């Protein structure tokens, strides 16, 4: 089973009009710094750290250079102001990889990975990574936006895609990538995108298997009990993730973790989780129930990337034997594989894109003529 579940059981944007997208120029929570792409501050187990001076080795670092821009996308019918990180493909008719993070994390969990993709494809493949409802810098004008069920997350995801690429006939080909909870979101959204006439060149799910996830759910509260309620500094929050191997790359953690932590001077521990995972418990089942069947039913290329040799459930085992999807296991990483080894994951996804690109545009491969 993937590392997360094993631990649990053992304890430029499509020339959008100004009304749809606008530059990122706000400054919000104290301590988080100026909120622009050039000035962004840079779940394992273990006891909370003792209060001590912040360790500069774990200070936040800027996300500049990992994405071309960070913008807010208005999705009025969803009452959302969605944060999107984006690097456009150099060709107007290129492909854009759309990444959805897992529960409790943010679009910046794909920052290092996005830079690797841009570098290895020399800008041919664009990358867009978003913050989901109640995560990162996405905000809602709905006072009751607590619902994180799969239907809500799917509708939000579709709303962002339509806001960024309003005309399916001129939109780039989309390659959907989702980590954990995000894997379920992109899988459930695929059919609706096809219905709306978008071109979807493939779906990649990162480190989640329905059977393992469902088995782990009864144990998740015990896992969460081992997490600190908060931290004394941002550096401590980053160091905790690295020292517990929740994220194995300190460089990536220094970029992504500030986006999942809030500064609250009134709290005993002033650096608090932006999205407390325990509050998402009512929606866990909706994320994973039926995921295997939905994954096998999508009408495009399918890829499953795991952080360890996982025990596939019956549907996926049969589907793999029938050659219905590609599976790759990445050694030496944890659940946050896109942060732990962004170079290897970029190689896997770029290879997946290149293999399926010619099929997507209707050109058969040699041997199929």
pLDDT beyond 80 at 185: yes
CA atoms within 13 A on the CB side of 105: 31
Q: Which helix (H) or strand (E) holds 177?
A: strand 173-179
Q: Residue 290 belongs to what domain range? A: 3-105+121-360
pTM of the entire predicted model: 0.86
On whether the CB atoms of residues 356 and 348 are closer than 8 A, the answer is: no
Residue 63 lies in a domain: yes
Secondary structure class of 271 (helix, strand, coil): strand
Q: Which residue has the tokens 């495009």?
A: 300
The residues, any chain, with a CB within 8 Å of residue 88's CB and separated by 6 or more, are 12, 13, 14, 68, 94, 96, 126
Q: Which two tokens mark 311?
A: 């025990």
What does the alpha-carbon distance between residue 219 and residue 1 come to, in Å, rounded to a whole number?
Answer: 14
DSSP string, 52-113: ----GGG-----BTTBSEEEEEEEGGGTEEEEEEEE--SSTT-EEEEEE--TT--GGGGHHH
Establish whether 335 is a catalytic residue.
yes
Residue 232 lies in a domain: yes
Residue 367 lies in a domain: no
Establish whether 294 is a catalytic residue.
no
Q: What is the pLDDT of residues 346-357, one digit of tens each?
A: 999 999 999 998
Residue 368 lies in a domain: no
Cα–Cα distances in angstroms (integers) from residue 281 to residues 63, 91, 290, 340, in the given order: 30, 42, 17, 26
pLDDT beyond 50 at 335: yes
Residue 369 lies in a domain: no
Residue 88 lies in a domain: yes
Mean pLDDT of the chain: 86
pLDDT at 186: 98
pLDDT at 45: 46
pLDDT beyond 50 at 276: yes
Q: How many domains does the chain have?
A: 1
* CATH code of residue 137: 3.40.50.1820
pLDDT at 368: 34
What does the alpha-carbon distance between residue 225 and residue 281 come to, in Å, rounded to a whole number?
Answer: 13
Cα–Cα distances in angstroms (integers) from residue 166 to residues 81, 129, 133, 162, 197, in the given order: 16, 17, 20, 5, 11
Active-site residue (options: 180, 189, 249, 252) = 180
pLDDT at 357: 82
Residue 17 lies in a domain: yes
On whether the CB atoms of residues 319 and 325 are closer than 8 A, the answer is: yes
Q: Which helix (H) or strand (E) holds 216?
A: helix 210-216
Q: Which residues of 261-288 are buried (b: 16+ CB within 10 A; e: fewer)?
A: bbbeeeeebbbbbbbebeebeebbebbb
On whether the CB atoms of residues 203 and 303 are closer than 8 A, the answer is: yes
Sign of the CA dihedral 211, 347, 85, 31?
positive
pLDDT at 145: 81
Establish whether 119 is a catalytic residue.
no
What does the alpha-carbon distance between residue 37 and residue 23 come to, in Å, rounded to a whole number?
Answer: 10
Of 168 and 29, the structure prediction assigns the larger pLDDT to: 168
Q: What is the pLDDT of residues 61-88, one digit of tens each?
A: 999 889 999 999 999 999 999 999 999 9
Active-site residue (options: 259, 335, 340, 341) = 335
Active-site residue (options: 207, 232, 310, 313) = 207
Residue 74 lies in a domain: yes
Question: pLDDT band at residue 99, thresholds of 50, 70 and 90?
Answer: very high
Give rounded-to-5 percent helix, strand, coil for the chain: 40, 20, 45
């Amino acid at each position: 089973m993937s590392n997360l579940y094993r631990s649990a059981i053992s304890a430029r944007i499509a020339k959008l009009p100004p009304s749809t997208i606008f530059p990122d120029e706000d400054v919000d929570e104290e301590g988080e710094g100026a909120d622009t792409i050039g000035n962004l501050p840079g779940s394992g187990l273990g006891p909370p750290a003792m209060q001590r001076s912040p360790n500069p080795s774990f200070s936040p670092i800027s996300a500049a250079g990992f994405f071309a821009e960070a913008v807010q996308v208005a999705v009025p019918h969803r009452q959302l102001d969605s944060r999107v990180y984006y690097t456009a493909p150099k060709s107007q008719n290129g492909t854009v990889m759309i990444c959805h993070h897992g529960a409790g994390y943010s679009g910046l969990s794909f920052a290092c990975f996005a830079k690797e993709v841009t570098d290895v494809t020399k800008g041919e493949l664009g990358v867009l990574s978003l913050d989901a409802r109640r995560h990162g810098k996405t905000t809602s004008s709905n006072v009751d936006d607590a619902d994180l069920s799969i239907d809500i997350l799917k509708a939000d995801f579709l709303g962002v895609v339509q806001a960024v690429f309003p005309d399916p006939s001129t939109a780039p080909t989309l390659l959907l990538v989702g980590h954990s909870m995000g894997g379920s979101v992109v899988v459930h959204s695929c059919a609706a995108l096809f219905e709306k006439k978008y071109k979807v060149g493939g779906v990649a799910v990162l480190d989640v298997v329905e059977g393992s996830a469902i088995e782990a759910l009864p144990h998740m509260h015990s896992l969460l009990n081992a997490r600190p309620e908060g931290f004394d500094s941002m550096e401590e929050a980053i160091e905790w993730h690295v020292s517990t191997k929740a994220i194995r790359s300190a460089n990536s953690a220094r970029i992504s973790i500030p986006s999942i932590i809030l500064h609250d001077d009134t709290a005993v521990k002033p650096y608090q989780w932006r999205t407390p995972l325990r509050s998402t418990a009512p929606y866990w089942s909706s994320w994973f129930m039926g995921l295997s069947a939905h994954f096998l039913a999508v009408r495009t290329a399918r890829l499953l990337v795991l952080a360890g040799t996982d025990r596939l459930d019956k549907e996926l085992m049969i589907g793999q034997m029938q050659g219905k999807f590609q599976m790759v296991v990445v050694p030496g990483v944890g659940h946050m594989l896109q942060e732990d080894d962004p170079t290897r994951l970029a190689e896997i996804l770029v290879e997946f894109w290149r293999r399926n690109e010619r099929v997507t545009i209707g050109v058969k491969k040699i041997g199929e003529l």
